[in-house]
Amino acid sequence: MHALKNMLPNKNSGKVLTLLGLVASGGLAVQVAAQTALKTPAAKAVEVASGERAAHVEWGYTGPTGPDHWSTLSKDYAICNSGEQESPIDLKDAIPADLGRLAIAWKPLAIRATNNGHTVQYDAPPGSSFAVGGKTYALAQFHIHHPSEHLLDGRRFPLEIHFVHKLTDGGFGVVGVLVANGVGNPTLGKMIAAIPAEEGVTGTGPMIDPRALLPVARGFDRYEGSLTTPPCAEAVDWVVLRTPITASAAQIDRFATFFPFNARPIQPLDRRFLLASR
Ligand SMILES: [Zn+2]
């Protein structure tokens, strides 16, 4: 990420051309550079994300603890309102690039669902991962936003599922799946049925195969961004699938009874590159 930042167009246009050349040839060099540059802030992000201090700070999606005020709630959240590589974004005008194949290797799991007050988080046991562009990310958990956080060419969707993966160096890779209103998804139905009504409670449910939450078409957009919740750490390799899956209106409405609104507003792309798989 900071490797990208050091190649800002107004600083050195020659470097930007080099960067685009690398992206066009597979992007591996860019990723290696970004990974190296990420180490320190990413390690801190993990520390903050899982730390005791951050856990006690109340934040929300509206009013005085809403997104406009996140940075005022804790020193650890400072970047939420000053960062230049934040998420989510409107996925539009992506630059076509050879990003390699998106290889998703998720395994069936038993539902373990926690209502954390902001969303429902489903834990993933070790063993599931995805790989793209020479990096492999280990699935840690997935959760749901209502409505979608990312927009696709300006269009917002009823739901978005985030599959949060971790890199061994401390960074994150999140696969985003947009959910449109349409035919019901039985797997999503089981997940929603397992949401505990009370905050702080963890419930269990039947076995599901998270691959049933993926569209058949695997075209995706990719960019360097952040966690969409405090501490908003800019340590996320985002992969958002361009084809939505569907859920029934009843499923969407049911989810909304637990979480009426848990989407952060879109953030400016600023000087980042949004890339689209060919
Ligand atoms: Zn999320």
17 alpha carbon – ligand 1 mean position (Å): 33
124 alpha carbon – ligand 1 mean position (Å): 15
176 alpha carbon – ligand 1 mean position (Å): 8
29 alpha carbon – ligand 1 mean position (Å): 28
Amino acid identity of residue 263, one-letter, is A
Rounded to 10 degrees, the C-alpha dihedral 130/162/123/253 comes to -140
96 alpha carbon – ligand 1 mean position (Å): 25
12 alpha carbon – ligand 1 mean position (Å): 34
Q: What are phi and psi of 268, to 5 degrees?
A: -70, 145
145 alpha carbon – ligand 1 mean position (Å): 6
- What string of H, E and C letters represents the secondary structure of the chain? CHHHHCCCCCCCHHHHHHHHHHHHCCCHHHHHHHHHHHHHHHHHHHHHHHCHHHHCCCCCCCHHHCHHHHHHHCHHHHHHHCCCCCCCCEECCCEEECCCCCEEECCCEEEEEEECCCCEEEECCCCCEEEECCEEEEEEEEEEECCCCCEECCECCCEEEEEEEECCCCCEEEEEEEEEECCCCHHHHHHHHCCCCCCCCEEEEEEECHHHHCCCCCCEEEEEECCCCCCCCCCEEEEEECCCEEECHHHHHHHHHHCCCCCCCCCCCCCCCCEEEC
From CA 39, how far away is CA 41, in angstroms rounded?
A: 6
Looking at residue 182, what DSSP letter applies? Answer: S
189 alpha carbon – ligand 1 mean position (Å): 19
143 alpha carbon – ligand 1 mean position (Å): 6
Q: pLDDT tens for the chain, 278 residues: list them.
A: 343 333 333 333 333 333 333 333 333 333 333 333 333 344 344 444 444 444 568 999 999 999 999 999 999 999 999 999 999 999 999 999 999 999 999 999 999 999 999 999 999 999 999 999 999 999 999 999 999 999 999 999 999 999 999 998 889 999 999 999 999 999 999 999 999 999 999 999 999 999 999 999 999 999 999 999 999 999 999 999 999 999 999 999 999 999 999 999 999 999 999 999 99
253 alpha carbon – ligand 1 mean position (Å): 19
Vertex 156 angle, CA 154 and 157, to 5°: 145
175 alpha carbon – ligand 1 mean position (Å): 10
144 alpha carbon – ligand 1 mean position (Å): 6
CATH architecture assigned to 2-277: Roll (3.10)
67 alpha carbon – ligand 1 mean position (Å): 14
